[in-house]
Amino acid sequence: MRAGWRPLWVPAGLGAGIAGLSWWPAVAASPALALSFRVAAGVLVAGALLVGLRAASEGRVLRLRWLAIRRAHWVQAIMHASLYTGWAWSWHPVVEHVPHLLAQVLFYYAFDLLLSWWRRDEARTGFGPLPIVGSINLFLWFRDDWFLLQFAMLAVGALAKELLVWEREGRRAHVFNPSSFPLFLVCVALWATGQDGITFARDIAVSQGAVPHAWLGIFLLGLVVQSLFAVTLVTLLAVATLAAVNLAFTALTGVYAWVDVGIPAAVYLGCHFLVTDPATSPRPALGRAAFGVLYGASVFALYMLLVWAEGPAWYDKLLCVPLLNLLVRPLDRLGARPPGRGANLAHVALGTVLFAGLSSAGLLGERHPGRDLAFWERACREQRFRACQSFAELVDEACHDGQWTRCEQYAWLLAGGEGVARDLPDAGYHLTLACQEGVTSACEALPGFLAGGGEAALAAACEEDHGLSCLVLGSLGARGATSEPGGARARERVERACALEVEDACAWLAR
């Protein structure tokens, strides 16, 4: 290899590392995932070759400079590692995601180097990619069959950081938060196409709220970042604004905006570890305060918009950050300097008082009054704002948490179209589930449900390849509960459900 090409061994080697990870047992078990790793590795190796050929044709000598480790980068990396550790304790997919994370780190390092060498002779790198990759994965990652898009998202983030720049205080700086910008683009695309299901975005948001003492953990880790980098005003005002609009919403409507929590853990995480990037937030104290207020208000407004549009509400904390980044230069004009150390410590103290107050009031943590189903049932009867929808969602969650009588209750909500769209096949599934789990009243109600149009609805849905409907109809037919009893016909229904990848149907056949 030519002398000027020697640094290219680094991205090529990182690409080889990603290819090697494709044989990690957990990765190799998914052919689509392993292929995405190998394609990403191939892109990097091909990119190294192209950069080398261009440099040779232009007579350039490539150089690699390792930057001194910046405190902002290694502190954020440690905080992210702590968050992932606590999260993995209660949600096992985080453990399975470790090779995915490692591959992304290698890819970002390599792609960023190649992008730099494509445009100039010297590439600089340090700990910077670690918090970028860590932050992105705290909020969204693609399922295995689509994981190649995760690498594409990282590439978009690196391109935005390199190409979308402006002048701030006499220096060139990237405009957008390098984690938030690709998340914004992906969320817009997924919302527009209705393809949120190819990601774990919803599961991530829900599982973060299930971590024991999640809000306290986020708060304590956030204190480290706030104390060291004087971004406390952003978090403080974002959380205060969210609490204020929340209370105003409840006073106006008599219900709770986020149903069973004051500020969701994922949103609280965004206030501490997404919007607080010092490089893409305002410098002056007043500017940072305004930035925090705007983030809190924007998240709440976006949540309401997404709920109204029946979109993925868990995008609320992700869609507004790049738009707020565009306001940074005007907000910089609101003052001359960032808050000093003494002022920042005072802001940390105020944030601590705010956390204690909100926790005591149940707005942070698991003790929120919206978790009481009786409250929502009463609010539904009183026809309060979206109360019936919220009640139905909570009943469904309770059913899948093992409260089997709630499955029967949800079945009747579905059958009557109360709070949810009328769905007889799904109602039949929940009624059958309750019966199978020993709810006597559900078993007694099944014949009437089937005779009243439930069987016809299940049969029509099965013919349209709705696997759960096939399973319910087949299992009921095997017990002689339908109008077409018979072992052969029932087995045919269940076999169809199994072919449609309904795991319970395959287990039923095995038994």
Does pLDDT of 180 surpass 90?
Answer: yes
The DSSP bridge pattern shows strands 63-66 and 122-125 to be parallel
Does pLDDT of 504 surpass 80?
Answer: no
Give exposure, 353-366, as e/b (b: 16+ Cβ within 10 Å). Answer: ebbeebbeeebbbe
Q: In this predicted structure, what is the pLDDT of residue 214?
A: 93
Based on the fold, state whether residues 148 and 10 are members of the same structural domain. yes
Q: Which two tokens stand for residue 379?
A: 């609010």
Instruction: Return the percentage of the chain with pLDDT > 90, whole number.
Output: 54
pLDDT tens-digit series, residues 413-470 = 888 887 778 888 888 888 888 887 888 888 888 788 778 887 787 778 778 877 777 7
Q: In this predicted structure, what is the pLDDT of residue 411?
A: 87
**Confidence band for 227, pLDDT divided at 50, 70 and 90:** confident
Based on the fold, state whether residues 146 and 11 are members of the same structural domain. yes
Based on the fold, state whether residues 217 and 121 are members of the same structural domain. no
Residue 13 within any structural domain of the chain:
yes
Based on the fold, state whether residues 455 and 309 are members of the same structural domain. no
Query: Model-level pTM greater than 0.85?
Result: yes
Residue 410 within any structural domain of the chain:
yes
Residues 193-204 have a mean pLDDT of 94
Residue 170 within any structural domain of the chain:
no
Based on the fold, state whether residues 240 and 330 are members of the same structural domain. yes
Lowest mean pLDDT of 13-22, 392-401, 431-440, name the range.
Answer: 431-440
Based on the fold, state whether residues 352 and 440 are members of the same structural domain. no
Q: Which two tokens stand for residue 6?
A: 């020697």
3 state SS of 195? coil
Q: In this predicted structure, what is the pLDDT of residue 4?
A: 61
Does pLDDT of 193 surpass 90?
Answer: yes
Residue 494 within any structural domain of the chain:
yes
Residues 65-77 have a mean pLDDT of 79
The position carrying tokens 């306001």 is: 327
- The parent domain of residue 14 ranges over 1-71+93-128+141-163
* Residue 470 amino acid letter: C
Based on the fold, state whether residues 218 and 354 are members of the same structural domain. yes
Counting the structural domains of the chain, the total is 3
Does pLDDT of 30 surpass 90?
Answer: yes
Torsion of CA 151, 152, 153, 157, to 10 degrees: 100
Domain-terminating residue out of 324, 347, 371: 371
Based on the fold, state whether residues 272 and 303 are members of the same structural domain. yes
Q: In this predicted structure, what is the pLDDT of residue 460?
A: 81
Does pLDDT of 2 surpass 70?
Answer: no
pLDDT tens-digit series, residues 258-314 = 988 999 999 999 999 998 888 888 988 899 999 999 999 999 999 999 999 989 999
Q: In this predicted structure, what is the pLDDT of residue 105?
A: 97
Asked whether the beta carbons of 65 and 123 are under 8 A apart, the reply is yes
Based on the fold, state whether residues 294 and 363 are members of the same structural domain. yes
Say what angle helices 265-273 and 285-308 make with each other, to 10 degrees.
150
Of 306, 309, 214, residue with least CA distance to 261: 214
Domain-terminating residue out of 304, 338, 371: 371
Based on the fold, state whether residues 340 and 411 are members of the same structural domain. no
Domain-terminating residue out of 371, 389, 407: 371
Q: In this predicted structure, what is the pLDDT of residue 218?
A: 95
Does pLDDT of 349 surpass 60?
Answer: yes
Residue 489 within any structural domain of the chain:
yes
pLDDT tens-digit series, residues 117-172 = 999 999 998 888 999 999 999 999 999 999 999 999 999 999 999 999 998 877 88
Residue 85 within any structural domain of the chain:
no
Does pLDDT of 217 surpass 60?
Answer: yes
Residue 257 within any structural domain of the chain:
yes
Residue 422 within any structural domain of the chain:
yes
Phi, psi of 125 (to 5 degrees): -150, 160
Q: In this predicted structure, what is the pLDDT of residue 127?
A: 84
Based on the fold, state whether residues 321 and 310 are members of the same structural domain. yes
Distance, in Å, from the CA atom of 246 to the CA atom of 242, rounded to the nearest integer, reads 6
Does pLDDT of 3 surpass 80?
Answer: no
Asked whether the beta carbons of 96 and 26 are under 8 A apart, the reply is yes
> Which of 38-52, 59-73, 391-405 is the most confident on average?
38-52
Based on the fold, state whether residues 53 and 151 are members of the same structural domain. yes
